[in-house]
Structures are given as C-alpha cells and as structure tokens.
Amino acid sequence: MDQSRRAVESYWRSRMVDGVTADDDKVAPVYKLEEICELLRASDASIVKEVAEFVLKRLDHKSPLVKQKALRLIKYAVGKSGNDFKREMQRHSAAMRQLVHYKGHPDPLRGDALNKAVRETQSKPNNSLSFRHSFPAASHPSNYYYLLFFYSQHDEFSDQQPDCRRAPKRRTRLVIPNLSHPV
C-alpha cells in the first residue's frame, strides 16, 4: 500500500512539471511555478532529486518550447526553492550549458525563432546557480579582506559595498601589435 502511494505521489509530481513545461505557446502561470517551489522547499532531498530529474528530462525534449519552459522553471525555482534543488541543478549544469549552442529543426511557421529563444534563455546571466554570492558575514575580521577583494572584482555590487575603503581596481591595457611591419 505504501509503495503504491509513493508511486501515485511521484506521478503527481511529474504531472506538475509536465503542466508547467507543456508543448504549447502559453506561458506557464506563476501559481504553478510557486506550487513546484513550495513542494521543493517542503520536501526532503530524495523528492527534490526526483523533481530535478523530471525537469532535466524535459530539457531533453525535442520541442524548443518545452526546453525553454524547462529553463525558465529552473531559473525560477533555483531562486525560490531551497539549496537542495540549487545543488542538484549545479550537478547537472552541463546539460543546461550545452543549450547555449542548441540548433533544432526550424519550425515551418516561425523558422529558427524558437531555437533562438532557447539559446537566448540559456545565455542570459544566471547568477542564481552559482554560490559565489553566498559569502561569509562581514563581522569576522578575516572576512573583511575577503569582502574587500570581492567587491573590488565585481562591479554589480557597487551599491552594496561595505563600510570600508575600497581596494583600487586593476586596470589592464589592451596592446594591439603592429602587423603592418613584418617581424
């Protein structure tokens, strides 16, 4: 009885993922994305891994619409669900990175626009999959120098800088060789 209940719950979770990544032109409603995120937050690691496998299977679908919706689901859920799902997606980041060069069959009506949309969805910066932003608290004295270095290297945190003197940025010069004279 317990095994059949787990099978039914697994089927229900797969239907949730299939509903969000359906092969149609409709955008997935946010409440469905939130339901999946709530499931991922409230569940243990084995269920999170199972849902991640369902989503990754949708990335292997032949339709570019399904691929794009699966990427959107991943980007949304990584930011809204717990660290278990984020770690699971980081383990399988190669499957997502290869979609930058995705070249599917052109649609008879839209041509290569759907395939281009998959490439653009994947190529948008996805900082939510990296742990580089989860740095330790600035209260410890050894973290002070780490934060100084971190903020000096990343411009996107210019409005979030700590109350400290910022280390100067390294400026690099581009040297273009003179190719008009043979060496």
Structurally, the chain folds into a number of domains equal to 2
> Do both 104 and 73 map to the same domain?
yes
Phi, psi for 66 (deg, rounded to 5)? -70, -40
Cβ of 66: how many Cβ atoms within 10 Å? 20
Q: What pLDDT, on the 0 to 100 scale, is given for residue 15? A: 92
Q: Which two tokens stand for residue 28?
A: 């997935």
Q: What pLDDT, on the 0 to 100 scale, is given for residue 146? A: 53
Q: Could you tell me which residue, 178 or 64, shows the higher pLDDT? A: 64
Q: Could you tell me which residue, 111 or 169, shows the higher pLDDT? A: 111
The pLDDT tens digits of the residues spanning 88-102 come to 988 988 888 887 777
The pLDDT tens digits of the residues spanning 130-166 come to 544 444 444 445 555 555 555 555 554 445 444 455 5
- How distant, in Å, are the alpha carbons of 11, 35, 47, 62, 103 from that of 67? 21, 20, 22, 8, 12
The residue-averaged pLDDT of 69-97 equals: 88
In a domain, 91, yes or no: yes
> Do both 48 and 64 map to the same domain?
yes
CATH number of the domain that residue 59 is part of: 1.25.40.90
Q: What pLDDT, on the 0 to 100 scale, is given for residue 37? A: 93
Contact of 69 with 26, CB cutoff 8 Å: no
Q: What pLDDT, on the 0 to 100 scale, is given for residue 104? A: 78
The pTM score is 0.64
Q: How many residues does the chain have?
A: 183
> Do both 98 and 155 map to the same domain?
no
Measured CA to CA, the distance from residue 70 to residue 76 in angstroms comes to 10
Q: What pLDDT, on the 0 to 100 scale, is given for residue 157? A: 47
Q: Which two tokens stand for residue 164?
A: 């400290």
> Do both 115 and 84 map to the same domain?
yes
* Domain, as residue range, for 123: 2-129
Q: What pLDDT, on the 0 to 100 scale, is given for residue 132? A: 44
What are the residue ranges of helices labelled H in the chain?
Answer: 2-20, 30-42, 45-59, 64-80, 83-91, 93-97, 113-123, 141-153
Least confident among 1-15, 105-119, 139-153 = 139-153
Cβ of 101: how many Cβ atoms within 10 Å? 9
Per the prediction, the chain carries an average pLDDT of 76
Phi, psi for 163 (deg, rounded to 5)? -80, 70
